[in-house]
């Protein structure tokens, strides 16, 4: 298991919201996509961190690794893993 921190949230024109969680070294990521409607209906909030199986992780583009590492470390320092964000 790996702990990942929320580093990016993107909205698109198809009413989908993408959440990107990354490791604090910025090398691994997990992307989740939810419809805005489903997100509003969820009883569980989006949290600052998630735990994921390492087999489910994807590598981060080398051009994004530094930014993801900085963001993941910042979120980890300022939030508890279960904090709604």
The domain segmentation of the chain, as residue ranges, is 2-78
pTM over 0.85? The answer is yes
Query: Is pLDDT of 61 > 80?
Result: yes
pLDDT of amino acid 35:
85
Question: What residues contact residue 21 under an 8 Å CB cut-off, 6+ apart?
Answer: 4, 5, 6, 7, 29, 30, 31, 32, 49, 50, 52
Number of neighbouring beta carbons within 10 Å of residue 2: 17
Report residue 25 as tokens: 């070294």
Query: Tens digit of pLDDT for each residue in 8-57?
Result: 999 887 888 999 999 999 999 999 988 877 777 776 788 999 999 999 99
Query: Is pLDDT of 71 > 90?
Result: yes
């Amino acid at each position: 298991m790996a702990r990942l921190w929320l580093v990016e949230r993107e909205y698109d024109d198809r009413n989908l919201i993408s959440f990107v969680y990354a490791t604090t070294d910025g090398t691994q990521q997990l992307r989740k996509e939810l419809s805005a409607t489903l997100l509003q209906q969820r009883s569980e909030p989006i949290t600052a961190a998630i735990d994921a199986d390492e087999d489910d992780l994807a590598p981060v583009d080398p051009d994004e690794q530094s930014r993801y590492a900085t963001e993941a470390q910042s979120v980890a320092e300022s939030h508890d893993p279960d904090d709604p964000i």
